[in-house]
């Protein structure tokens, strides 16, 4: 009987799912001079892979500001992946109070200050659930884009569970797909380096798939890190 009760309790835990929240009390000002500041949370003890089955489900925060739309806030994962939580929302209204960002729900851009509740992040939150190891330093990256009034981050937290935000997985397109492979060479400014270009184009009206290996064009090109220039662009 005891074994049956223990097994039943185990099944109950499975049905409720596994969730773990990591939080940080910050109580720190965010400079109003366009400086990027980051606030860390150390994550430990999680499975070594986050993906579509287990990963980041939400990011919540409390922040004061007298002009919300000044604020840009991103989440940065241990592998360097960044996703935009919000930017330019709320106009001249005040504060973010118990604001949570998830992969679904009402877009935060459609919400109103103080944004209490759960909203969909501006970029795809699930893109951090990309197979990386979640154990390490997660950062809330904040920038006040306009002077005259500082923001103040009170606290923030990140929750992992088995109903995570889903990543955007690019598999196909109805326009040609261009792949650039750097061949382990960093892209520099003003110094052209060779990269491999592959173009997938099945023709007008056809779907192009990212995993195709029959390329309409495949060859090396030279590239550099530079914006478009021309007679009308100094």
Q: Is the pLDDT of residue 229 over 50?
A: no
Residue 104 lies in a domain: yes
Is 12 domain-assigned?
Answer: no
Are 42 and 158 contacting, i.e. CB atoms less than 8 angstroms apart?
Answer: no
Q: Is the pLDDT of residue 6 over 70?
A: no
Give the whole-angstrom CA distance, residue 58 versus residue 159.
Answer: 5
Q: Kindly state the percentage of the chain with pLDDT values over 90.
A: 76
Per-residue confidence (pLDDT) for residue 45, from 0 to 100: 97
Question: Could you tell me if 217 and 112 lie in one domain?
Answer: no
DSSP 171: -
Q: What is the mean pLDDT of residues 37-57?
A: 98
Same domain, 96 and 49: yes
* Span 167-210, pLDDT tens digits: 887 889 999 999 988 877 777 777 888 899 999 999 999 999 99
Which of 182, 168, 172 minimizes the C-alpha distance to 212?
A: 172
7, pLDDT greater than 50: no
Q: Is the pLDDT of residue 33 over 60?
A: yes
Closest CA to 146 of 73, 66, 71, 74: 71
Q: What is the pLDDT of residue 201?
A: 96
Q: Is the pTM of this model over 0.85?
A: no
> Does residue 183 contact residue 196 with C-beta atoms inside 8 Å?
yes
Average pLDDT value over all residues in the chain = 89
Q: How many distinct structural domains can be found in the chain? A: 2
Q: How many C-beta neighbours within 10 Å does residue 220 have?
A: 11
* 31 shares its domain with 83: yes
**Domain hosting residue 177, numbered range:** 172-223
pLDDT in tens, 61-119: 999 999 999 999 999 999 999 999 999 999 999 999 999 999 999 999 999 999 999 99
Can you give the pLDDT at residue 49?
Answer: 97
Flag whether 230 is in a domain. Answer: no
What pLDDT is attached to residue 226?
64
Within-domain flag for 69: yes
Residues 62, 26: Cα–Cα separation, whole Å: 10
CATH of the domain at 52: 2.60.120.260
211 assigned to some structural domain: yes
pLDDT band (50, 70, 90) for residue 15: very low
Least confident of 18-22, 41-45, 114-118, 220-224: 220-224
Say which residues have a Cβ less than 8 Å from residue 32's Cβ, sequence separation at least 6: 70, 144, 146, 147, 148, 149, 150, 151
């Amino acid at each position: 009987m005891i074994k049956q009760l223990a097994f039943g309790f185990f099944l109950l835990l499975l049905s409720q799912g596994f969730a773990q929240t990591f939080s940080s009390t910050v109580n720190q000002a965010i400079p109003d001079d366009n400086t990027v500041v980051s606030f860390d949370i150390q994550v430990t003890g999680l499975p070594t892979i986050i993906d579509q089955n287990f990963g980041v489900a939400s990011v919540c925060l409390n922040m004061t500001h007298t002009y919300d739309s000044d604020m840009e806030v991103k989440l940065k994962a241990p592998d360097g992946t960044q996703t935009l939580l919000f930017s330019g929302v709320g106009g001249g209204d005040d504060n973010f109070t118990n604001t949570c960002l998830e992969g679904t729900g009402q877009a935060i851009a459609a919400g109103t200050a103080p944004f209490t509740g759960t909203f969909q992040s501006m970029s795809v939150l699930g893109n951090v659930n990309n197979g990386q190891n979640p154990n390490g330093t997660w950062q809330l990256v904040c920038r006040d884009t306009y002077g005259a009034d500082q923001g103040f981050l009170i606290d923030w937290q990140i929750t992992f569970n088995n109903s995570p935000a889903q990543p955007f997985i690019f598999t196909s397109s109805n326009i040609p797909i261009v792949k650039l492979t750097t061949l382990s060479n960093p892209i520099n400014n003003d110094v052209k380096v060779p990269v491999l270009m592959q173009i997938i184009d099945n023709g007008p009206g056809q779907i192009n798939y990212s995993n195709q290996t029959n390329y309409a064009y495949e060859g090396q090109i030279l590239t550099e890190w530079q914006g478009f220039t021309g007679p009308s662009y100094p």
